[in-house]
Amino acid sequence: MDKFIIRGGRPLHGEITIGGAKNAGLKLLVAGLLTSERLVLTNVPHIADIATMRALLTQHGLSAEAVNGDKTTLSVGGDITSTEAPYDIVSKMRASILVLGPLLARCREARVSLPGGCAIGTRPVDLHLKGLETLGAKITLENGYINARAPNGLVGERIVLPFASVGATENLMMAATLAKGRTEIVNAAREPEMVDLANCLNAMGAKITGAGSGHIMIDGVEALHGAQHRIMSDRIECGTYACAAAITGGDLRLIGGQIEHLGAVVRAFEEAGVEVTQEGDAMRVRRTGALRGVDIMTEPYPGFPTDMQAQFMALLSVAEGASMITETIFENRFMHVPELNRMGARINVHGSSAIIRGVHGLSGAPVMATDLRASFSLIIAGLAAHGETILSRVYHLDRGYEAVERKLAACGAAIERVKD
């Protein structure tokens, strides 16, 4: 298992290129199940979760191959030879549940392992299943697996989601592209990744309108065809490096970063005393004055993203005054708190809220990564801390961030990866 050794106290200056979005790329790979032709994706991030999704597609009979040796371009296609998504892959990565809708729509049956719990909460999939049942699927749960069948194909219907779930909206949107008639998804998730997925599906011949709003309409078609699509840039990776720039009092240009995808995060940065501007194709982040405490609540898009909560908490741990962060999306997403406190932060958790009392400085310590975003919050803290921080269990980070140490070191950070 790899570790990171970080020596803090150096402001970050320079440029970082933001990669393709993990949370868009995973679903776009899955979209390859909806056609017998090849789907070519560009700007694919080189991260472990994408490798896991490729393994799952291989299990279904598809291939996802690099084009001309370029790992950022994948050609997805082939015949579906198995409609089963086994436990060993689904338990590794929850996004695997997204094959359920496409397999059911295309092959009229699917057997997908239930994902079970994960580090940041129980995360049920009831909304995915209820929505597919509304489209006519017969679903039973047996031996830890979801067995879904639609012998006569799915039929369009009106689905009202009680919560704007990202995954459920995507699963249902993909399934509905091949259903008979019109599907409406009401209270749909509005994340920019939804728009990216809909754009790709439409390029494949789907008829989707309203993606990005809370009301999506899909007119089913007989078949989808191949297409080429560029994966949007990763707004969470961008926001994460912005926190690193801000905590070190640095100045970074984040190439590919788009302020319009980070509205609530940019507002929080500005309130905290961090300057964020769009300069052509780059988002520039700099801080010259003091950091101020801010109150934040995570919400579905366009609210403040839960995937930025841990990183922002690290930033606020050294801000003047007190801050409060309330987590409304996941019930157990404060696992970074005890680790940040070991580095000298003063954070108390009360139910779903954390009170952060700003301290003058953090001190390096051995800390442990617990999940993807929590891991990066410890790097952010380590970049500002006096002395050495040793972050273990870096594999959590490798799931979703590409070349972290290379990107940070190029901007002046003292960070190295060591093998255990």
The residues annotated as belonging to the active site are 118
Q: How far is the CB of 381 from ligand UD1 (least distance, A)?
A: 21
Closest-by-Cβ residue to ligand UD1 is 167
Helix, strand, coil proportions of the chain in percent (round to 5)? 35, 30, 35
Shortest Å distance, C-beta 107 to ligand UD1: 22
Q: SS3 of 413, please?
A: coil
Residue 281, C-beta contacts closer than 8 angstroms, at least 6 positions apart: 255, 256
In the list 11, 19, 156, 167, the residue contacting ligand UD1 (rule: CB under 6 A) is 167
Q: Which of 272, 364, 369 is nearest to 322 (CA)?
A: 272
Quote the least distance from Cβ 122 to ligand UD1, whole Å. 6
Near ligand UD1 by CB under 6 A: residue from 7, 13, 92, 123 = 123
Least distance (Å) between residue 23 CB and ligand UD1:
3
In sequence order, the 6+-apart residues with CB closer than 8 A to the CB of 89 are: 52, 55, 56, 59, 96, 113
Q: Which of residues 203-262 bind ligand UD1 (CB under 6 A)?
A: none
Interface positions, 3-62, toward ligand UD1 (CB under 6 A): 23, 26
Q: Which residues contact 278 (CB under 8 A, 6 or more apart)?
A: 258, 259, 284
CA distance 243 to 245: 5
**Two structure tokens written together for 262:** 């980070």
**Least distance (Å) from ligand UD1 to the CB of residue 79?**
26
The site map against ligand UD1 for 74-113 (x = CB under 6 A) is --------------------xx------------------
Which residues, other chains included, contact 79 with Cβ-Cβ below 8 Å and sequence gap of 6+?
Answer: 36, 61, 62
Among 137, 166, 245, 268, which residue interacts with ligand UD1 (rule: CB under 6 A)? Answer: 166
Q: Residues at the annotated binding site for UDP-N-acetyl-alpha-D-glucosamine?
A: 94, 123-127, 307, 329
If residue 277 lies in a helix (H) or strand (E), which one and from where to where? strand 275-279
- Choosing from 4, 330, 334, 376, the residue that interacts with ligand UD1 (CB under 6 A) is 330
Q: Which residues are annotated as a binding site?
A: 22-23, 94, 123-127, 307, 329
Please select the residue that binds ligand UD1; options are 144, 163, 263, 279, rule is CB under 6 A. 163
Residues 352 and 245: their CA atoms lie apart, in Å, by 27
Taken in order 304, 305, 308, 314, the sign of the CA dihedral is positive
Tell me the window of 126-134, 204-212, 215-223, 343-351 that interacts with ligand UD1 (CB under 6 A). 126-134
Among 39, 99, 125, 238, binds ligand UD1 (CB under 6 A): 125
Residue 40, strand partner residues: 75, 228
Which of 16, 148, 168, 415 contacts ligand UD1 by CB under 6 A? Answer: 168
Question: Of 112 and 319, which has the nearer Cβ to ligand UD1?
Answer: 112
Site size toward ligand UD1 (CB under 6 A) is 21
Of all helices (H) and strands (E), which one includes residue 187?
none
Backbone angles phi, psi at 260, to 5 degrees: -65, -20
Cβ neighbours of residue 175 closer than 8 Å, sequence gap 6 or more: 100, 101, 102, 104, 105, 132, 135, 154
Binding positions for phosphoenolpyruvate are: 22-23
Provide the minimum distance between the beta carbon of 125 and ligand UD1 in the complex, in angstroms, as a whole number.
Answer: 5
| Number of neighbours of residue 133 by Cβ within 10 angstroms | 15
User: Residue 102 and residue 105: Cα distance in Å, rounded?
Assistant: 5
CB of 346 to ligand UD1, least distance (A): 26
Nearest residue to 305 (alpha-carbon basis) of 245, 354, 235: 235
| Closer residue to ligand UD1 in complex, CB, 117/321 | 117
Judged by beta carbon, residue 147 or residue 187, the one nearer ligand UD1 is 187
Residues 274-313 that bind ligand UD1 (CB under 6 A): 305-307
One residue of 57, 100, 127, 216 binding ligand UD1 per CB under 6 A? 127
Whichever of 110 and 166 has its CB closer to ligand UD1, that residue is 166
Give the C-alpha separation, 67 to 76, whole Å: 10
What span, in angstroms and rounded, lies between the C-alpha atoms of 176 and 132? Answer: 9
Residue 255 C-beta: closest distance to ligand UD1, Å: 22
Residue choice 9, 14, 124, 263 for contact with ligand UD1 (CB under 6 A): 124
Which stretch in 29-37, 151-159, 166-174, 288-296 sits in contact with ligand UD1 by CB under 6 A? 166-174
Using CB under 6 A, list all residues that contact ligand UD1.
Answer: 23, 26, 94-95, 121, 123-128, 163, 165-168, 305-307, 329-330
